């Protein structure tokens, strides 16, 4: 995001812009997952499946963006030496995707045969997923994004934001 002060000097993206923009994407993902769970509560499994597909598409793209644009820069700038190495983010991304794939399968079964027990099992699995997601979110909020905001030149931060395949919506 480019911002212009009154003198017309381009300050580019500032540190908090970068963190805010990336965390804003997490907030949008959370909203979409919430919509999915609301549909589950309504036992509207077709709507739940559509909302999950929306969520999944955006989560996949966000993960892909991080793995192609964000994490390579983080590693190149020395992010590996801290207590949040790239392999940790990649492992969490893998786990998140595995969980959502499993939700797809469970939901397809629910569409065929709506029943309380599998629905409750799905909510239980989603509680575990949300716990993993919370840890991942905190690691990115507190380690990954602020590290890049501090160490990546403003023009590079702007390049990352411009290259995102999913930048909201």
The residue whose two tokens read 């969520």 is 55
Contact (Cβ atoms closer than 8 angstroms) between residue 21 and residue 1 = yes
17 or 66, CB closer to Fe ion?
Answer: 66
The residue whose two tokens read 């959370």 is 30
Q: Which of 16, 137, 139 is nearest to 86 (CA)?
A: 139
For the CB of residue 65, give the shortest distance to Fe ion in the complex, in Å. 8
Q: Which of 122, 150, 128 is nearest to 49 (CA)?
A: 122
Contact (Cβ atoms closer than 8 angstroms) between residue 106 and residue 121 = yes
- By the criterion CB under 5 A, which residues form the site for Fe ion? 66, 140
For the CB of residue 143, give the shortest distance to Fe ion in the complex, in Å. 11
89 or 103, CB closer to Fe ion?
Answer: 89
66 or 158, CB closer to Fe ion?
Answer: 66
As a whole number of angstroms, the longest Cα–Cα distance in the chain is 65
Contact (Cβ atoms closer than 8 angstroms) between residue 149 and residue 16 = yes
53 or 86, CB closer to Fe ion?
Answer: 86
29 or 110, CB closer to Fe ion?
Answer: 29
Q: Which of 77, 65, 33 is nearest to 52 (CA)?
A: 33
> Both tokens of residue 103?
């939700």
């Amino acid at each position: 995001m480019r911002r212009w002060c009154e003198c017309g000097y381009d300050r580019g993206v500032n540190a908090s812009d970068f963190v805010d923009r990336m965390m804003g994407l997490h907030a949008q993902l959370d909203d979409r997952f919430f919509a999915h769970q609301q549909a589950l509560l309504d036992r509207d499994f077709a709507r739940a499946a559509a909302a999950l597909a929306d969520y999944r598409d955006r989560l996949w793209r966000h993960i892909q963006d991080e793995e192609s644009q964000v994490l390579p820069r983080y590693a190149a700038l020395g992010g590996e030496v801290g207590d949040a190495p790239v392999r940790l983010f990649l492992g969490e991304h893998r786990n998140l995707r595995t969980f959502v794939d499993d939700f797809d399968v469970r939901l397809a079964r629910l569409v065929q045969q709506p029943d309380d027990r599998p629905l409750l099992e799905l909510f239980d699995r989603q509680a575990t997923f949300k716990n993993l997601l919370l840890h991942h979110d905190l690691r990115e909020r507190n380690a990954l994004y602020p590290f890049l905001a501090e160490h990546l030149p403003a023009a590079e931060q702007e390049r990352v934001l411009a290259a995102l395949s999913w930048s909201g919506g």
